[in-house]
Structure formats: structure tokens, C-alpha cells
């Protein structure tokens, strides 16, 4: 390698005793290192292919792809050796022939989405596009797990607060079957993950005060995800409410127009129009909805990691559609019924006049 053995060991905080105990052959690590460097350009083409396909999914915001850093690969091979010897036998060792199948994240693709709920569509896309060998989700203790249990996904609880869904997929751009890792996370999980990775990976040798602050940052990122989903729901409900208001206002205008055409006493006509005005003035959908929304949003909940989207959903139909609720709809329907009744009476009166006018003609015949 381009770096001396002792310098490499110190750089990646590797255990010298472990290397000696498991008789890790530095010469074979050298072979793997240079073989991987020779293959990187081709692997980069394959990773870009995966990234382009993932960008076709509408809920995907950003896709990043990378080929594993050669030094990080060697450090990982050293750390994984005890585990592999335990599971595969004492004679096992990483070689130039087996490292590409033993290490599954040589090609890595990261998919970033905006809202937590967008994951479902991306999950379905990945499952229908490639063969998924392994699937697991990393969440923090206390996070909602219902959505993952519904899909029967293996759940790992991470003390660090790391959140991400990991897929190991198989694909064959050539005759060689390759494995790649796809990580799917929200934009806030990505921000936290990058900071945590920068400060603690791969050595994991960080002071307690930094660990505590990283956990606080993780909670803030989780709350930001919940708030984003809540804001999305508010926006969607607001748009529906605007449409509802426009539709109801159109109904009221049509009703007013019909009343104006009625041949009734001026006082009765003014009374009907006044009733319509009351419907407009007494519609307090906004104040009720805003008060209910404010009641569940307070600064004490920002770090509680409650499911904000569920809280918002619980009020979405209680106040925001007040104008289209039973009371207002009943008032409009009552006005329509009264108008139709008056119109019907006028039509009947008109027919009576026509009948009276036609009677002399019958007599003459």
C-alpha cells in the first residue's frame, strides 16, 4: 500500500494484538488493495447506473453514489477477520478471490427523500426493480416501528440514534453478479448521519461530552422530520380548505342569484339574503382549527419525538373544514329548500294563470 503498516494501524486505531493473534497476512491485504484500485473505475460506472435508475423514482430527492475508499476497505477487512474466522472457521482469510463477495458495500448508493412517509414508495421501487438479499432498518429506541413491522423488516435499535433503511441488492450489469448497498433516509437523517460519521467513524473513539451532544443533535433531527410531515399535512389541508371555501361561496352566490329572481315580497327577499350573509360571517372554521393546532404545538414537545404527523392528522377534519360541516351545509340546504319552495309556488301560480287564460278557448271549441 501507499502507507506503511504501522502508520496505517495508528491512523485507523487498529488493534495490533488482534492482528497478530489472528495472523492477518499483510501481503494479502496489499494484493487486495491494488486489485480493488484497478477495479474502481469500472465499479464507479456501475454505481452511477444504479443512481440514475433510482433518480427515476418521483419521491427521491437526491441520490449519491460512491465506491469504497481503498484504505477503508483494508481497515474493514482487518476488523471483520475475527468475526469471519468465528463463523467460517479458523482457516478463513480474506483474499483477492473472495473479498468482493465477502464485503457487500464496495458499491454504495444513498437515497435521500424529504418526508418520512415518502419511504414507502421508494421501498416498493427498490423491491420491484432489483433482487433484495438483505433488508434492515436502523432506528433509535422510542421511534415508531409500526411501518417497518407491517413490512416485516428487521429492526436494529442504535444507541447512537442513527436512522436509515439499508438494502443489499444483487444486480448484473455484465456477466458478473454484483452486490451493492442502498441506504435510504430523510434529508434530516442524512445531515445528522454525515456529522456523526465525520466525528466518530471509523475509530469510534470519542469523548462522552461529544457523544451526548451528538444524541441531542439526533433528537433535533428526529423532531425536524416530524415537523416536516406535520407542515406538509397542514399545507395539504389548507389547500383542500381553500377549495372547499370557493365551492361553498359559489353555492351561496348561486343561491343569492336565484333569490333575486324570485317574485316575492321585498322584505322576505331581504331576509333570505341576510340569512346567507350570516352563514358567511358565522363560519369560524379558521379560529377553531388554529386554536386546536396551537394546542398541540409547544416548545416543550420539540425534543419529545412524538409522532407529530399523527397529532396533526387527528385534528385535520375537526376544524379546517368547518364551512363544509353539518351546520353550514344544513343552513345552505335550508336556504335552497326555501328558495325551491318559493320557486315552486311561483311556477304553480304561473300555471294557474295559464289555465285560466286557456279556459275560454276550450269553451269556444
DSSP E strand stretches across the chain: 62-67, 107-113, 131-139, 154-157, 164-171, 178-186
For residue 41, pLDDT over 60 is answered with: yes
What span, in angstroms and rounded, lies between the C-alpha atoms of 87 and 81? 10
Give the least confident one: 32-46, 192-206, 321-335.
Answer: 321-335
CA 199 to chain centre: 27
Do β-strands 154-157 and 164-171 pair in parallel, antiparallel, or remain unpaired? unpaired
What's residue 356's pLDDT? 44
pLDDT of residue 97: 95
Specify the DSSP element, H or E, that contains 315: helix 308-315
Pair 101, 168: CB distance under 8 Å: no
- Average of per-residue pLDDT across 71-98: 96
Phi, psi of 165 (to 5 degrees): -105, 125
Q: What per-residue confidence (pLDDT) applies to 238?
A: 82
Q: Which positions ≥6 away from 79 have C-beta within 8 Å?
A: 14
- Determine the pLDDT at residue 339: 63
Q: What band does 353 get if pLDDT is binned at 50, 70 and 90? A: very low
Look up the pTM and report it. Answer: 0.70
Tell me which DSSP letter residue 161 carries. -
Mean pLDDT along residues 146-159: 89
Q: Please, which pLDDT band fits residue 335 given cuts at 50, 70 and 90?
A: low
Domain ranges within the chain, ordered by starting residue: 5-206, 225-364
Examine the pLDDT at 355 and tell me if it is beyond 70: no
Closest by Cα among 57, 64, 71, 69 to 7: 71
**pLDDT (tens digit per residue) in 164-176:** 999 999 999 989 8
* Spatial CB neighbours of 252, under 8 Å, sequence gap ≥ 6: 276, 279, 280, 332
Encode pLDDT of 192-226 as tens digits: 988 888 887 655 567 888 888 888 898 899 889 98
Among residues of the chain, what percentage have pLDDT more than 90?
Answer: 45
Sign of CA dihedral 18, 22, 28, 34: negative
User: How much is the pLDDT for 245?
Assistant: 77
| pLDDT exceeds 70 at position 303 | no
pLDDT over 70, % of the chain: 75
Choice among 163-167, 176-180, 204-208, 354-358 with the minimum mean pLDDT: 354-358
- Mean pLDDT, the chain, integer: 81
Contacts of 80 (CB under 8 A, 6+ apart): 94, 102, 103
Higher-pLDDT residue of 296 and 192 is 192
> Rounded to an integer, what distance in angstroms lies between the CA atom of residue 187 and that of residue 125?
19
Coil, helix or strand at residue 62: strand
Q: What is the mean pLDDT of residues 295-317?
A: 50
What's residue 251's pLDDT? 81
Residue 69 has pLDDT above 90, yes or no: yes
Show the CA angle centred on residue 282, arms to residues 278 and 283, nearest 5°: 120
Hey, what CATH topology would domain 5-206 get?
Beta Polymerase; domain 2 (3.30.460)
**Once rounded to an integer, what is the mean pLDDT over residues 240-267?**
80
- pLDDT for 129: 97
pLDDT for the residue numbered 295: 57
Which pLDDT score is estimated for 141? Answer: 80
pLDDT > 50? residue 346: yes
Amino acid at each position: 500500500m501507499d502507507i506503511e503498516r504501522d502508520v496505517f494501524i495508528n491512523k485507523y486505531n487498529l488493534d495490533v494484538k488482534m492482528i497478530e493473534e489472528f495472523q492477518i497476512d499483510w501481503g494479502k491485504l496489499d494484493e487486495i488493495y491494488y486489485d480493488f484500485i484497478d477495479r474502481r473505475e469500472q465499479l464507479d460506472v456501475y454505481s452511477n447506473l444504479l443512481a440514475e435508475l433510482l433518480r427515476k423514482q418521483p419521491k427521491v430527492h437526491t441520490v449519491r453514489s460512491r465506491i469504497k475508499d481503498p484504505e477503508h476497505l483494508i481497515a474493514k477487512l482487518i476488523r471483520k477477520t475475527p468475526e469471519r474466522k468465528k463463523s467460517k472457521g479458523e482457516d478463513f482469510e480474506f483474499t483477492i478471490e473472495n473479498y468482493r463477495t465477502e464485503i457487500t458495500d464496495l458499491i454504495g448508493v444513498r437515497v435521500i427523500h424529504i418526508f418520512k412517509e415518502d419511504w414507502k414508495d421508494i421501498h416498493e421501487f427498490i423491491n420491484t426493480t432489483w433482487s433484495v438479499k438483505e433488508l434492515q432498518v436502523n432506528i433509535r429506541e422510542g421511534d415508531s416501528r409500526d411501518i417497518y413491522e407491517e413490512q416485516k423488516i428487521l429492526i436494529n435499535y442504535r444507541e447512537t440514534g442513527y436512522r436509515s433503511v439499508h438494502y443489499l441488492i444483487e444486480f448484473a450489469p455484465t456477466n458478473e453478479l454484483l452486490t451493492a448497498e442502498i441506504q435510504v433516509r430523510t434529508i434530516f437523517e442524512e445531515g445528522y448521519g454525515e456529522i456523526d460519521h465525520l466525528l466518530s467513524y471509523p475509530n469510534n473513539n470519542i469523548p462522552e461530552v461529544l457523544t451526548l451532544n451528538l444524541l441531542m443533535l439526533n433528537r433535533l433531527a428526529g423532531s425536524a422530520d416530524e415537523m416536516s410531515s406535520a407542515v406538509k399535512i397542514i399545507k395539504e389541508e389548507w389547500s383542500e380548505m381553500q377549495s372547499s371555501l370557493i365551492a361553498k361561496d359559489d353555492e351561496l352566490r348561486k343561491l343569492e342569484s336565484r333569490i333575486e329572481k324570485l317574485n316575492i315580497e321585498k322584505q322576505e327577499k331581504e331576509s333570505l339574503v341576510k340569512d346567507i350573509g350570516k352563514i358567511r360571517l358565522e363560519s369560524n372554521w379558521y379560529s377553531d382549527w388554529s386554536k386546536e393546532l396551537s394546542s398541540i404545538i409547544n416548545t416543550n414537545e420539540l425534543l419529545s419525538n412524538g409522532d407529530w404527523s399523527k397529532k396533526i392528522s387527528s385534528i385535520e377534519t375537526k376544524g379546517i373544514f368547518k364551512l363544509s360541516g353539518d351546520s353550514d351545509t344544513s343552513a345552505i340546504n335550508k336556504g335552497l329548500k326555501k328558495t325551491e319552495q318559493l320557486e315552486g309556488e311561483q311556477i304553480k301560480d304561473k300555471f294557474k294563470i295559464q289555465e285560466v287564460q286557456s279556459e275560454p278557448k276550450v269553451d269556444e271549441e
